[in-house]
């Protein structure tokens, strides 16, 4: 009998906690997708432990003897079923020796993977098929398949928005300010759920599961950098887990963010960044692509109704569809110029620190490199200053970004056509000169100033690269 089995005494205590909240869909995944793999005993233990977290808010420890009685299992079978939960990622077990109570346990339950994430995992799917057979598996795929979008041809959307129905009464917000703050503080983002990063989604549980196959762990402080890589390059969970494996060192079980970024840049420059397709998820992927294409066409028609020129429409669609690095690479290919590490660092720094969305950053990249025809994003101070200016103006969409550029171009033309015109008919006083945003002034900077600033940025960003991308300047 294994040592762990002997140590689980009926008199030993266990504290139980849940790492996140399970949705109805997660519960269906647990019942229909996990239960056939882990078996009835493990399934019963999971539900029992979860119920303890619901009905025992004080986190008081429970006796293993009580757990054995509830699930009607002896020590040996309880231990065997518990290991099935551990191996599949539903349970983490921690132990400690207490002077008063002896061996004590901490059980941390994790929500099941969402059905869409489950079906992307070839190992999980193969286990499911081996347990339920092909016919049952096909029915499960149909059960969780994304429904087709209903045909709305000929209909016009007339849905009323929030303000039309409920209005905005600031006195209500002020009256309940304390309660609102309490809710925002205590109800936080579920670490084990999908975490958004400026419009992108990355499934942290699935990524951690893939890493565990190679004996690699992801620490909480590294999550933001992983999300940044995903947002910048569009690399999915499975691809990134392979990058982590290829950059791992013997005896080190943590992801190496600096090494991962370096390898991704090297592979990208060589055209070797792989886009992995899981055959099991092809049907779901095709359905998703169909919905995305439909949404893209609807978006295009909306922009056409606004009377925008075709080139601006295409620019906005590209800015909304591509990640910042993909967008930059497309421009570099069109201009037939090579990649530049300094430019990559500058863009990465902007995505990390700026409050602007990726589409807005993409529009700004296009303006600097195409409209202004700058050699690099780091040439002069236009890119850096515009980031600040647009943040202050709270530019949030590609339309607003283009409108900002139109206003800037219009003022440039007015200054060229009427460099000294005073519309009031009187000489201008120095104190009445219109204030021009810093990013507009950069057009007239001397080459010496631009080179100095470029050198400053180069040193700062190269130092950031040497520190694994952690910039605080």
HSE, side-chain direction, 13 A CA sphere, residue 399: 8
Let me know if residue 327 belongs to a domain: yes
Q: Could you report the per-residue pLDDT of 330-343, keeping only the tens digit for each?
A: 888 888 888 777 78
Contacts of 91 (CB under 8 A, 6+ apart): 46, 49, 82, 85, 107, 108, 109, 110
Q: Look at 184 and 38; give whichever has higher pLDDT.
A: 38
**Predicted local confidence at residue 448, as pLDDT:** 43
Q: Could you report the per-residue pLDDT of 448-473, keeping only the tens digit for each?
A: 445 555 566 556 555 544 554 443 44
Measured at the alpha carbon of residue 345, what is the angle toward residues 343 and 351, in degrees to the nearest 5?
105
Q: Could you report the per-residue pLDDT of 214-248, keeping only the tens digit for each?
A: 888 888 778 878 888 887 777 888 888 888 888 88
**Predicted local confidence at residue 423, as pLDDT:** 44
In this prediction the pTM is 0.43
β-bridge pairing 102-109 and 13-18: parallel
Rounded Cα–Cα distance for residues 68 and 446 (Å): 78
Let me know if residue 289 belongs to a domain: no
Is the confidence at residue 269, as pLDDT, over 80? no
| Rg of the chain on CA atoms, in Å | 28
Rounded Cα–Cα distance for residues 27 and 41 (Å): 17
Let me know if residue 389 belongs to a domain: yes
Q: Which of 68, 86, 112 is the last residue of a domain?
A: 112
Q: Could you report the per-residue pLDDT of 153-206, keeping only the tens digit for each?
A: 888 878 776 666 766 555 665 666 677 666 656 555 444 444 444 445 677 888
Let me know if residue 177 belongs to a domain: no
Let me know if residue 187 belongs to a domain: no
Measured at the alpha carbon of residue 44, what is the angle toward residues 39 and 48, in degrees to the nearest 5?
155
Are 39 and 84 spatial neighbours (Cβ–Cβ below 8 Å)? Answer: yes
Is the confidence at residue 1, as pLDDT, over 90? no
Q: Could you report the per-residue pLDDT of 99-123, keeping only the tens digit for each?
A: 888 888 999 999 898 888 888 887 8
Rounded Cα–Cα distance for residues 260 and 348 (Å): 14
Q: Which of 89, 112, 135 is the last residue of a domain?
A: 112
Q: Could you report the per-residue pLDDT of 243-259, keeping only the tens digit for each?
A: 888 888 877 788 888 88
Share of the chain above pLDDT 70, in %: 71
Are 85 and 45 spatial neighbours (Cβ–Cβ below 8 Å)? Answer: yes
Length of the chain: 473
Query: In 3D, which of 387, 399, 395 has the Cα closest to residue 316?
Result: 399
Rounded Cα–Cα distance for residues 209 and 203 (Å): 10
Average pLDDT over residues 381-391: 84
Q: Look at 67 and 297; give whichever has higher pLDDT.
A: 67
Q: Which of 112, 142, 169 is the last residue of a domain?
A: 112
Average pLDDT over the chain reads 76
Let me know if residue 239 belongs to a domain: no
Tally of domains in the chain: 2
Let me know if residue 456 belongs to a domain: yes
Structural domain including 13 reads 3-112
Let me know if residue 374 belongs to a domain: yes
Is the confidence at residue 210, as pLDDT, over 80? yes
Is the confidence at residue 55, as pLDDT, over 80? no
CATH of the domain at 70: 1.10.10
Strand partners, 102: 98
Measured at the alpha carbon of residue 263, what is the angle toward residues 338 and 229, in degrees to the nearest 5?
85
Are 134 and 280 spatial neighbours (Cβ–Cβ below 8 Å)? Answer: no
397 φ/ψ angles, rounded to the nearest 5 degrees: -130, 165
Are 16 and 62 spatial neighbours (Cβ–Cβ below 8 Å)? Answer: yes
Q: Could you report the per-residue pLDDT of 297-328, keeping only the tens digit for each?
A: 777 787 788 788 888 888 888 888 888 888 88
């Amino acid at each position: 009998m294994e040592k762990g089995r002997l140590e689980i005494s009926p008199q030993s205590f266990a504290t139980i906690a849940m790492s996140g909240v399970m949705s109805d869909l997660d519960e269906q995944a647990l019942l229909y997708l996990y239960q056939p793999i882990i078996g009835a005993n493990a399934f019963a233990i999971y539900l029992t432990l979860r119920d303890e977290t619901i009905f025992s808010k004080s986190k008081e420890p429970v006796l293993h003897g009580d757990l054995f009685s509830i699930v009607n299992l002896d020590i040996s079978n309880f231990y065997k079923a518990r290991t099935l939960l551990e191996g599949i990622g539903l349970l983490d077990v921690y132990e400690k020796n207490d002077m008063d109570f002896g061996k004590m346990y901490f059980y941390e339950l994790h929500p099941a993977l969402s059905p869409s994430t489950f079906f992307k995992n070839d190992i999980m799917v193969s286990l499911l098929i081996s347990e339920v057979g092909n016919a049952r598996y096909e029915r499960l795929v149909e059960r969780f398949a994304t429904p087709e979008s209903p045909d709305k041809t000929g209909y016009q959307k007339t849905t009323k928005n929030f303000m039309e129905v409920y209005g905005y009464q600031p006195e209500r917000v002020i009256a309940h300010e304390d309660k609102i703050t309490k809710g925002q503080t205590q109800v936080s983002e579920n670490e084990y759920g999908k975490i958004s990063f400026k419009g992108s989604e990355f499934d942290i549980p699935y990524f951690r599961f893939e890493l565990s196959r190679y004996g690699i762990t992801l620490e909480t402080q590294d999550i933001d950098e992983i999300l940044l890589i995903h947002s910048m390059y569009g690399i999915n969970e499975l691809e990134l887990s392979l990058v982590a494996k290829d950059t791992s060192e013997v005896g080190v079980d943590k992801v190496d963010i600096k090494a991962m970024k370096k390898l991704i840049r090297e592979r990208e420059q060589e055209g070797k960044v792989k886009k992995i397709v899981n055959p099991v998820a092809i049907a779901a992927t095709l359905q998703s692509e169909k919905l995305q294409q439909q949404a893209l066409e609807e978006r295009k028609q909306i922009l056409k109704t606004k009377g925008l020129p075709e080139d601006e429409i295409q620019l906005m669609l590209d800015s909304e569809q591509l990640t910042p690095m993909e967008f930059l690479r497309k421009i570099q290919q069109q201009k037939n110029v090579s990649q530049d590490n300094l430019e990559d660092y500058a863009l990465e720094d902007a995505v990390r620190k700026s409050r602007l969305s990726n589409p807005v950053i993409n529009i700004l990249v296009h303006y600097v490199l195409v409209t202004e025809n700058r050699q690099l994003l780091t040439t002069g101070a236009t890119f850096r200053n515009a980031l600040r200016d647009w943040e202050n103006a709270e530019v949030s969409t590609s339309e607003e970004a283009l409108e900002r550029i139109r206003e800037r171009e219009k003022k440039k033309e007015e200054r060229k056509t009427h460099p000294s015109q005073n519309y009031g008919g009187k000489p201008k006083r120095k104190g009445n000169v219109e204030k021009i945003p810093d990013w507009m002034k950069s057009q007239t900077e001397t080459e010496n100033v631009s080179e100095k600033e470029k050198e400053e940025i180069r040193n700062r960003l190269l130092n950031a690269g040497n520190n694994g991308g952690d910039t605080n300047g």
